[in-house]
Amino acid sequence: DARVTQTPRHKVTEMGQEVTMRCQPILGHNTVFWYRQTMMQGLELLAYFRNRAPLDDSGMPKDRFSAEMPDATLATLKIQPSEPRDSAVYFCASGLGTSGGETQYFGPGTRLLVL
């Protein structure tokens, strides 16, 4: 049963520290999405990639967030420096674009708490 995996599952850090979250998309999927979920804002899209190229990162605070795909099996989301308002659950999703539609499969998320 193919699944999206994310690490770490939980992260507690202090303000100002760097945070790196990792995602392994489902093998063969060509799109990767990063979402953030908070009680106040719900699910927000931060960035997404197609064939490892960034297509849209307009939802991301550019001064502190960065997203990359070093290879087809790894996507990373970094926050440097982290702030308390970054506390949220970060989800990675992967999908396969076809003419019939694109279904996104979500990972279990990384729960981030910035103190």
List residues near another protein by CB under 8 A.
Answer: 4, 31, 33, 42-43, 45, 48, 50, 55-56, 91, 93, 95, 97-109
Task: Output 18 or 44, the one with its CB closest to another protein.
Answer: 44
Torsion of CA 39, 41, 47, 48, to 10 degrees: 80
Instruction: Output the smallest distance, CB 67 to another protein, in A.
Output: 13
Q: Which two tokens stand for residue 105?
A: 């499969």
Task: Output 43 or 113, the one with its CB closest to another protein.
Answer: 43
Q: CB of 35 within 8 A of CB of 44?
A: yes
Q: CB of 95 within 8 A of CB of 29?
A: yes
Task: Output 9 or 80, the one with its CB closest to another protein.
Answer: 9
